[in-house]
């Protein structure tokens, strides 16, 4: 599918605001994402990045503003309805089914997608096909050997990969990743970076991610949005945003920016 | 017409005030610790029986009311420390089941000590008889209960909104974790909170004994309307408990006049209607338990 | 594909249940106690569908049990003395009852869900209690045991009724076991463990909870319908929240989230009640004390220790001063 330059952007957030008990977590944020773009959202802790993500993905409804996906207003759509429109997300702490196996974790979304989740009998004829999809998704994140392991027994990095594979099980066109490398060792970070790159390069997905690791951001993102105290303070190419004076000030003293 | 309706309205308000007091206690405990206290009714009955025992040994009503309420609250604190507090770190189902088991034990103990049928519990002579208001005669004891329950509620509000401990308690209900981080002794708050809920139940229990008759299941019979009051008013809302209690009380007493068979079912109809219009209850906030 | 240990377990339970009518009289107990165990196990299994498999703290299943009991008993007494038809009517009634209250329940989680199940469950109790010209009010009403197919077909008594119940129970237990291994069951387990993730897989969890409630109402109602025929009697206390609490306790006694847990719990409960009540009128103290003891000391039930895999870790936090409620039970402002 080729992007039509005149059409509305793939995902658009307009003047989104969200507050908790008087604290404005997100205070009027705009974001346009083109199809197959990779957008990074950065900013110091408490900048409102995750809250903005929550408003985009319907974890919370925004107090004001609109979110549109392919021109369709999804602001008040319930979270599972957004998933069915092709949006998908991960969370800061991997949101997984810890006591189920890796296979069962992946299967849950697949069977919903295949409209067999209500079946009280087996999967029947669809079983083979879905099992094949499980293998495909696990190959994508290179976890096939872990298929029958209980997810709780996987490493933190492994759990993140399971979560990414799960978010792919709903056949999304756009994935939102909330700090995909948080708390990971260097080797795991590299692995996640490859997977995220593949989401775009191999699967042709639109990717939006929140990230603190600036090496990760400059390596992957086409465009960067920097938030501070609920507002956007800079946007543009990674190089431009990371050298912006305001951004540097917001991050003052924090080591991430020193690395750049 | 009014002479038929007025006593029922007073009845309704009295019942409603009971439901409100019980619901406030339940709601405090539910909100802070996630415990649905199924033994709440048992504590009411216990207070009633303690007062009865004191009075049958020659104590006057007022001393019996105060002493039994305090004793019951202390027993409540012991129960909270020994049995319920170990469960705070588990899913709330367990504390629900524990208080369920407790209510079974209590009920049977009441039967063993005070017998299976109701015992004669009469209001003090100064509160018996009727008082004339306008053209209507109303039972003095009911009017007294109305006043007493209003006093208790005002005292509670003063405690919660005007004292340091009360403020901390309300803070803890909002966010127990934050309070723990700030260094407040949360276990002490849980205790205070539970004791307060039981104290309210105990006062209501003694007052109810003189009105509804004191038997082993007296408190449990009041428990279900109180649960419905919590649902109608919205969990965690004091105003909700008061308004909800009055609504339930009035609905029950007015229905009793016209269609006695439906007097219990009416509160479920009320609850269903409220939930359809406002799923979180009339004053329901977006609290941690929804 | 069953594991060897499971095969042993199932065979053992099956043999025990089949031989029960021979064993009970040998220790001086009545066969009807065996029937009670089976039917309480059905009710406890219906709680387990919500509590164990879906992670919902249901505390009102006696309502479904009682509606099933009244439905079949009223039909048999007033319409047609036909066991099979009576069971069908009772079960349809209880499933309908579940369908009526489910819309109020499915939007709530955690203790609010419990509160609503307690409250809504009790409405059926009051209807039975007050609508006395139909239901016999507080005293309930008795029926005579109906012929299995009505007319001059045979009437099941004693051990033949026991085996009839056991057969139905075995089929239902197998069906529940199959359902738990089906795509639907997997989704229920997902809801129990991490409902937010289920919704972020594009699944409307409310609808699954609705169906789980219907399933629970169906199983409980069938148990109740069989029970009122078994004791030839139906009375309001069958629907009281105390009865609901007993059913939940049976699940906890045996082990939450396991297929056999409710059976074991029901057996412990029914036998303890039967034996204790013949010794002392104050048996309720011992039963209540047993509940308290289990909640404090064996929260996972007798089978629970081996079934830890199916259940989330109960401890929300090692630090008792923090985190009172596990994350899964907190309702956020999630649309």
Q: Which residues pair with A18 in a beta bridge?
A: A26
Q: Which of B19, B33, B97, B262 to mutate to test the interface with C (most CBs of C within 10 A)?
A: B97
Q: Are residues A186 and A61 in the same domain?
A: yes
Interface of A with C (CB under 8 A): 57-61, 76, 78-81, 83-84, 88-89, 95-100, 104, 107-109, 111-113, 116-123, 150, 166-167, 169-170
Closest Cβ–Cβ partner in A99, A104, A120 for C182:
A120
> CA-to-CA distance for C136 and C145, rounded, in angstroms?
18
State whether residue C57 sits within 8 Å of chain B by CB.
yes
Pairing of strands A64-69, A11-20: antiparallel
Domains of chain B as residue ranges with CATH: 2-277 (1.10.3470)
Q: C119, B36: Cβ pair inside 8 Å?
A: no
Q: Which of C119, C244, C245 to mutate to test the interface with B (most CBs of B within 10 A)?
A: C119
| Domain assignment of residue A115, given as a range | 95-171
Q: Are residues A208 and A80 in the same domain?
A: yes
- DSSP structural state of residue C233: E
Q: How many residues does chain B have?
A: 290
Q: A248 — phi, psi (to 5°)?
A: -60, -40
Closest Cβ–Cβ partner in B97, B108, B180 for C322:
B180
Q: Which residues pair with A142 in a beta bridge?
A: none
Nearest to C192 by CA among C310, C334, C44, C307: C310
Q: Are residues A71 and A185 in the same domain?
A: yes
State whether residue C201 sits within 8 Å of chain A by CB.
yes
Check if the beta carbon of residue B20 is closer than 8 Å to that of residue B152: no
**DSSP per position, chain A:** -PPPTTSPPSEEEEEEEEEETTEEEEEEEEEEE-TT-EEEEE-STTSSHHHHHHHHHTSS--SEEEEEETTEE-TTS-HHHHHHTTEEE--SS----TTSBHHHHHHHHHHHHTT-TT-SS--TTHHHHHHHHHHHHHHHTT-GGGTTSBGGGS-HHHHHHHHHHHHHTT--SEEEEE-TTTT--HHHHHHHHHHHHHHHHTT--EEEEE-S-HHHHHHH-SEEEEEETTEEEEEE-HHHHHT-HHHHHHTTT-HHHHT-
Q: C115, B227: Cβ pair inside 8 Å?
A: yes
User: In the structure encoding, which two tokens stand for residue B122, read together?
Assistant: 């009469």
Q: Are residues A79 and A106 in the same domain?
A: no
State whether residue C19 sits within 8 Å of chain B by CB.
no
Q: C184, A117: Cβ pair inside 8 Å?
A: yes
- DSSP structural state of residue B262: G
> Residue B203, CB half-sphere, CA atoms under 13 Å: how many?
25
Nearest Cα residue in chain B from C132: B261
SS3 B137: strand
pLDDT at A52: 93
Check if the beta carbon of residue C55 is closer than 8 Å to that of residue C193: yes
pLDDT at C12: 87
Contacts (Cβ under 8 Å, ≥6 apart) of C113 = C56, C57, C58, C105
Q: B118 — phi, psi (to 5°)?
A: -70, 150
Q: C331, B83: Cβ pair inside 8 Å?
A: no
Lowest mean pLDDT among B66-75, C219-228, C275-284: C275-284
pLDDT at A246: 85
Nearest to A82 by CA among A68, A93, A96, A63: A68
Check if the beta carbon of residue A29 is closer than 8 Å to that of residue A189: no
Nearest Cα residue in chain C from B187: C321
Q: Which chains does chain A touch, 3 or more C-beta pairs < 8 A?
A: C
**DSSP per position, B7-53:** HHHHHHHHHHHHHHHHHHHHHHHHHHH----TTHHHHHHHHHHHHHH
Q: Are residues A163 and A153 in the same domain?
A: yes
Q: How many domains does chain A have?
A: 2
Question: Can you say whether residue A210 is alpha, beta or left, with left for phi > 0 and alpha for psi between -120 and 50 degrees?
Answer: beta
Q: Which of B86, B88, B101, B110 to mutate to test the interface with C (most CBs of C within 10 A)?
A: B101
> CA-to-CA distance for C187 and C53, rounded, in angstroms?
9
State whether residue C124 sits within 8 Å of chain B by CB.
no
Q: Are residues A114 and A131 in the same domain?
A: yes
Nearest to A238 by CA among A37, A69, A100: A37
Check if the beta carbon of residue B46 is closer than 8 Å to that of residue B271: no
State whether residue C182 sits within 8 Å of chain A by CB.
yes
From chain C, the residues in CB contact with B103 under 8 A are: 288
Q: C22 — phi, psi (to 5°)?
A: -85, -35
Q: A76, C312: Cβ pair inside 8 Å?
A: no
Q: Are residues A185 and A238 in the same domain?
A: yes
Q: Are residues A37 and A106 in the same domain?
A: no
Stretch C164-176: mean pLDDT, rounded?
95
Task: Show which of A171, A199, A216 is a domain's final residue.
Answer: A171
> CA-to-CA distance for C55 and C328, rounded, in angstroms?
9
Axis crossing angle, helix B2-33 with helix B238-258, rounded to the nearest 10: 140
Q: Are residues A71 and A140 in the same domain?
A: no
SS3 B75: helix
Task: Show which of A171, A193, A213 is a domain's final residue.
Answer: A171
Give the CATH number, domain containing residue A202: 3.40.50.300
SS3 B213: coil
Q: C326, B91: Cβ pair inside 8 Å?
A: yes
Question: Mean pLDDT of successive 10-residue segments in chain B (290 residues)?
Answer: 75 91 91 90 96 92 94 96 90 90 94 91 81 79 88 90 84 68 78 93 93 91 92 85 93 88 88 87 58
From chain A, the residues in CB contact with C179 under 8 A are: 120
Q: Is the pLDDT higher at C133 or at B48?
A: B48
Check if the beta carbon of residue A14 is closer than 8 Å to that of residue A75: no
Q: Are residues A186 and A220 in the same domain?
A: yes
Q: C115, B279: Cβ pair inside 8 Å?
A: no
Number of other CB atoms surrounding residue B269 within 10 Å: 13
List, for chain A, all residue ranges whose pLDDT scores fall below the cut of 70.
Answer: 1-7, 252-260
Check if the beta carbon of residue B48 is closer than 8 Å to that of residue B206: yes
> CA-to-CA distance for C237 and C214, rounded, in angstroms?
22
Q: Are residues A178 and A259 in the same domain?
A: yes
Q: Does residue C319 carry a pLDDT above 60?
A: no
Nearest Cα residue in chain B from C243: B100
Task: Show which of A113, A142, A171 is a domain's final residue.
Answer: A171
From chain C, the residues in CB contact with B224 under 8 A are: 118-119, 122, 241
**Residues in C 150-209 with any Cβ partner in B closer than 8 A:** none
Q: Per-residue pLDDT tens for C320-332?
A: 332 333 333 333 3
Q: Which chains does chain C touch, 3 or more C-beta pairs < 8 A?
A: A, B
Number of other CB atoms surrounding residue C309 within 10 Å: 11
Q: C334, A59: Cβ pair inside 8 Å?
A: yes
Q: Does residue C172 carry a pLDDT above 50?
A: yes
pLDDT at C302: 75
Q: Which residues pair with A210 in a beta bridge?
A: A41, A178
Q: Which residues pair with A33 in a beta bridge?
A: A11
Q: How confident is residue C279, by pLDDT bands cut at 50, 70 and 90? A: confident
Q: Which chains does chain B touch, 3 or more C-beta pairs < 8 A?
A: C
pLDDT at C56: 93
Nearest Cα residue in chain C from A176: C200
Q: Does residue C240 carry a pLDDT above 60?
A: yes
Q: C183, A58: Cβ pair inside 8 Å?
A: no
State whether residue C19 sits within 8 Å of chain A by CB.
no
Q: Which of C123, C138, C192, C282 to mutate to test the interface with B (most CBs of B within 10 A)?
A: C123
From chain C, the residues in CB contact with B93 under 8 A are: 51, 57, 114, 248
Q: A100 — phi, psi (to 5°)?
A: -95, 165
pLDDT at B175: 67
Q: How far is C63 from chain B (nearest CA, A)?
A: 14
Q: How confident is residue C131, by pLDDT bands cut at 50, 70 and 90? A: confident
- Global ipTM: 0.90
Nearest to B246 by CA among B27, B13, B26, B18: B13
Closest Cβ–Cβ partner in C186, C202, C204 for A107:
C186
User: In the structure encoding, which two tokens stand for residue B156, read together?
Assistant: 């509670």
Check if the beta carbon of residue B101 is closer than 8 Å to that of residue B220: no
State whether residue C187 sits within 8 Å of chain A by CB.
yes
Stretch C147-160: mean pLDDT, rounded?
87
State whether residue C80 sits within 8 Å of chain A by CB.
no
pLDDT at C3: 67
Number of other CB atoms surrounding residue C39 within 10 Å: 27
Residue A185 Cα to chain centre, angstroms = 20
pLDDT at C326: 32
Q: Are residues A123 and A230 in the same domain?
A: no
State whether residue C290 sits within 8 Å of chain B by CB.
yes
pLDDT at A91: 93
Q: A80, C310: Cβ pair inside 8 Å?
A: no
Cα–Cα distances in angstroms (integers) from residue C212 to residues B87, B94, C168, C174, in the given order: 28, 22, 20, 16
pLDDT at C303: 72
């Amino acid at each position: 599918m080729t992007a039509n330059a005149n059409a509305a952007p793939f995902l658009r957030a307009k003047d989104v605001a969200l507050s908790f008990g008087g604290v404005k977590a997100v205070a009027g944020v705009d974001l346009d994402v083109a199809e197959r773009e990779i957008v990074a959202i950065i900013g110091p802790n408490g900048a409102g990045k995750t809250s903005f993500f929550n408003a985009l993905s319907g974890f919370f409804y925004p107090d004001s503003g609109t979110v549109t996906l392919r021109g369709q207003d999804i602001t008040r759509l319930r979270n599972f309805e957004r998933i069915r429109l092709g949006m998908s997300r991960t969370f800061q702490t991997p949101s997984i089914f810890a006591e189920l196996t890796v296979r069962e974790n992946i299967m849950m979304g697949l069977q919903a997608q295949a409209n067999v989740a209500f079946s009280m009998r087996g999967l029947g004829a669809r079983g083979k096909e879905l099992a094949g999809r499980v293998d495909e998704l696990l190959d994508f994140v290179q976890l096939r050997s872990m298929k029958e392991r209980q997810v709780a027994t996987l490493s933190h990095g492994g759990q993140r990969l399971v979560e990414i594979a799960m978010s792919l099980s709903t056949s999304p066109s756009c994935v939102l990743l909330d700090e995909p490398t948080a708390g990971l060792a260097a080797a795991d970070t590299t692995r996640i970076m490859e997977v995220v790159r593949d989401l775009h390069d191999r699967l042709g997905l639109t990717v939006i991610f929140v990230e603190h690791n600036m090496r990760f951001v400059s390596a992957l993102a086409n465009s960067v949005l920097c938030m501070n105290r609920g507002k956007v303070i800079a946007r543009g190419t990674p190089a431009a945003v990371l050298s912006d004076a305001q951004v540097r000030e917001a991050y003052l003293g924090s080591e991430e920016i020193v690395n750049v | 017409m009014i002479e038929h309706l007025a006593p029922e309205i007073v009845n309704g308000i009295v019942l409603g005030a009971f439901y409100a007091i019980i619901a406030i206690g339940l709601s405090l405990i539910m909100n802070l610790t996630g415990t649905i206290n199924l033994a709440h009714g048992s504590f009411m009955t216990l207070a009633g029986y303690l007062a009865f025992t004191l009075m049958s040994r020659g104590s006057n009503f007022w001393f019996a009311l105060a002493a039994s309420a305090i004793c019951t609250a202390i027993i409540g604190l012991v129960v909270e420390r020994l049995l319920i507090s170990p469960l705070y770190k588990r899913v709330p189902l367990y504390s629900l089941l524990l208080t369920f088991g407790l209510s079974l034990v209590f009920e049977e103990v009441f039967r063993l000590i005070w017998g299976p049928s109701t015992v004669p519990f009469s209001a003090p002579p100064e509160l018996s008889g009727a008082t004339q208001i306008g053209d209507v005669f109303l039972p003095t004891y009911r009017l007294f209960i109305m006043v007493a329950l209003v006093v208790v509620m005002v005292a509670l509000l003063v405690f919660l909104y005007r004292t340091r401990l009360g403020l901390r308690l309300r803070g803890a209900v909002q966010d127990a974790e934050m309070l723990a981080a700030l260094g407040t002794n949360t276990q002490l708050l849980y205790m205070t909170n539970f004791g307060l809920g039981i104290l309210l139940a105990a006062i209501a229990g003694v007052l109810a004994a003189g009105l509804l008759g004191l038997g082993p299941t007296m408190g449990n019979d009041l428990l279900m309307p109180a649960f419905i009051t919590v649902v109608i008013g919205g969990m965690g809302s004091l105003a909700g408990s008061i308004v909800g209690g009055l609504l339930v009380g009035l609905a029950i007493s007015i229905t009793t006049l016209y269609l006695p068979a439906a007097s219990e079912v009416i509160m479920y109809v009320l609850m269903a209607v409220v939930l359809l219009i406002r799923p979180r209850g009339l004053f329901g906030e977006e609290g941690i338990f929804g | 594909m069953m594991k060897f240990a499971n095969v042993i377990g199932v065979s053992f339970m099956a043999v025990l249940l089949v031989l029960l009518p021979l064993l009970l009289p040998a220790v001086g107990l009545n066969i009807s106690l065996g029937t009670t165990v089976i039917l309480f196990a059905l009710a406890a299994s219906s709680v387990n569908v919500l509590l164990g498999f879906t992670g919902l703290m249901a505390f009102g299943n006696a309502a479904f049990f009682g509606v099933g009991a009244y439905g079949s008993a009223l039909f048999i007494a007033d319409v047609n003395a036909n066991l099979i038809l009576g069971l069908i009517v009772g079960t349809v009634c209880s499933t309908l009852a579940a369908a009526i209250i489910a819309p109020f329940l499915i939007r709530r989680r955690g203790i609010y869900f419990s509160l609503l199940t307690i409250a809504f469950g009790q409405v059926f109790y009051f209807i039975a209690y007050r609508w006395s010209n139909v239901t016999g009010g507080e005293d309930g009403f008795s029926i005579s045991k109906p012929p299995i197919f009505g007319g001059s077909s045979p009437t099941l008594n004693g051990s033949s009724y026991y085996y009839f119940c056991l057969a139905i129970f075995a089929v239902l237990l197998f069906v529940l076991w199959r359902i738990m291994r089906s795509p639907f069951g997997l989704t229920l387990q997902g809801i129990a463990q991490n409902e937010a993730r289920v919704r972020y897989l594009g699944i409307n969890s409310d609808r699954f909870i609705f169906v789980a409630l219907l399933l629970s109402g169906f199983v409980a109602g069938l148990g109740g319908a069989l029970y009122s025929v078994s004791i030839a009697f139906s009375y309001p206390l069958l629907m009281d929240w105390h009865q609901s609490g007993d059913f939940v306790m049976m699940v906890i006694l045996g082990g939450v989230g396991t297929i056999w847990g409710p059976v074991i719990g029901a057996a412990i409960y029914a036998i303890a009640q039967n034996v204790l009540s013949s010794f002392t009128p104050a048996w309720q103290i011992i039963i209540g004390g047993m509940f308290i003891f289990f909640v404090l000391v064996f929260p996972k039930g007798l089978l629970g220790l081996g079934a830890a895999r199916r259940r989330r870790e109960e401890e929300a936090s090692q630090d008792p001063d923090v985190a009172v409620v596990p994350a899964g039970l907190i309702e956020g402002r999630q649309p």
